[in-house]
Amino acid sequence: MAPTSVAEAVRPQQAVAELLFQPYRLGPFTLPNRIVMAPLTRSRARQPGNVPTSLNACYYAQRASGAFIISEATQVSMQGQGYAWTPGIHSREQVEGWRLVTDAVHAAGGRIFLQLWHVGRISHPALQPDHMLPVAPSAITPAGDAFIENDRGEGQLVPFVRPRALQIEEMPYIVQQYAHGARNAMAANFDGVEVHGANGYLIDQFISSGTNHRTDAYGGAVGNRARLLMEVVEAVSEIWGPDRVGVRLSPLGSFNDMSDAEPEVTFGTIAQLLNGLRFAYLHIVNPGLAAIEKGKAPDAGAEQMLALIREKYSGTLIVAGGFDRDTAEAWLEQSKADLIAFGRKFLANPDLPDRLRMRTGLNADDQSTYYGGGAKGYTDYPSLAQERGEQPKACVDDRWR
């Protein structure tokens, strides 16, 4: 039967549109919507010591209206650092700095998970303790450049070096670094942690056949290449409880010179292994992101990868990369994801959930201010309330260095 009114005709579309703003149960949390803030490296930790400050607290508190925040990637040790001015979670001063952030987010009614990070080979001796070589599963030099601080205190790109392959006797120590970071995250009053296993960093280097040429218990078959990931997740879950632990993966990702001979076998197996741990969520980078960024539709391989992971992993699935309001709603409606993570849109729009809900214009992000600096391009993006004159201007604190 044909609809009898305009209201009835548009009601199904409105129901789909509202799904993005429906509450969602994640472990012990009732999330107010399905809009997650993705992890975004901003290189604004205070020096020396890579310590979060009140400026970082302001930035995150401004963005507390999402479902929850996943913090910028945070190195679990000095060895784990790969970029200048990124924060750590391995010293007392860093814990105290992060407590400023979590207190501010909680005061604003938000929730925040810390992303635990070890970059592996994506580093440089200038960033390592005692100028040592970066470590990796295998001694394979990545293509590209490291972002370091030069002698003048400026950011500089320098070629990557050939890393040192980790000895098998060192592997328990690597797991301990993540566990130490997880304990410190608890001391800093985070709501949970996310294990960074994506984007070409250490755990991803072990996962992918292109970067892991080992012949011991951490190389060869997929189960061996996934061993470090599983050991880290289990160690972190013992500290936090599985319902406050997430994992990030980037199937089909090539960032940081990554490749895998059989990605469907690799990530299908890992999704199934993770499914048995019953932790809070699996967070993946959209397998079709590379095509989307070029203005193209994702190919069949990206669709197959997403379907495979959805089949193998039955828990909460977060997908990040290339979404706008309409595509996010469509993916939720089609059950391709349970939560959608936004990165650059959240960077430039501190009140992104309100802007999406009201279908208002979005602030454009300024790429020149992504990494390093102070308040400009960080805490000075206006909210709708500020544009209307209903709230004071954004936080400004240039004492970040």
Annotated catalytic residues are 201
> Which residues 6+ apart lie within 8 Å of 173 measured at CB?
none
Question: For residue 4, what are the β-bridge partners?
Answer: none
Burial category of 155 from C-beta neighbours within 10 Å (exposed 0-12, middle 13-18, buried 19 and up): middle
